[in-house]
Amino acid sequence: MPVRIEPWTKDDFPLLEKLFGDPRMTEHLGGPESPGMLADRQRRFEKLAEIGNDRMFKVIEVTTGESVGTVGYRELTWRGEEIYEIGWSTLPAFQGRGIAGNATALAIALARQDGRHRHMHAFPSIDNAPSNAICRKLGFTLIEECEFEYPKGSFMQCNDWRLELY
């Protein structure tokens, strides 16, 4: 399914609610967020591009113009190295059509262009079969199983996947 990605805007709160406020969507991400947490997240996403190198995009289905998911990356210190960590999501009605994979490939291309970090990592839960499949398909290398803190204060058993950006 062809998609494009665009920076997050003030009009994208309904999409954020459908993703981060939904128990199914947040099963591997620490559970649904409260209205206050969603509002904070919206403010953070809107400002990201102005204040640093982290990026959050909405994923748009090209044929319909509909917003169907997110992809984003942020800077993180991991095992002593400055890296990008990337994550993605697709609304349930649109899953299984290659949307997250295609959107993630576009976001990786942008991170490559900025040339800031050698490595991009993804930390899907070991039980998140589609996300682990996406990492494999996009050429990430499986480094190890590890404990990863997401959201803050909650630890998940994850796979550490790494991609060379340059």
Residues contributing to the site for ligand COA (CB under 6 A) = 25, 28-29, 87-90, 95-101, 122, 124, 128-131, 133-134, 137
Element spanning 80, H or E: none
Cβ proximity to ligand COA: between 88 and 140 the closer is 88
Cβ proximity to ligand COA: between 120 and 122 the closer is 122
| Shortest CB 11 distance to ligand COA, Å | 21
Distance CA 68, CA 40 (A): 21
DSSP string, 31-42: SPPPHHHHHHHH
| Shortest CB 163 distance to ligand COA, Å | 13
Cβ proximity to ligand COA: between 2 and 50 the closer is 2
Residue 150, burial from CB neighbour count under 10 angstroms (0-12, 13-18, 19+): middle
| Shortest CB 54 distance to ligand COA, Å | 15
| Shortest CB 81 distance to ligand COA, Å | 19
Secondary structure (3-state) at 28? coil
Cβ proximity to ligand COA: between 115 and 156 the closer is 156
In contact, 130 and 25? CB cutoff 8 Å: no
Q: Provide the CB-side half-sphere exposure for 18 (13 A, CA).
A: 15
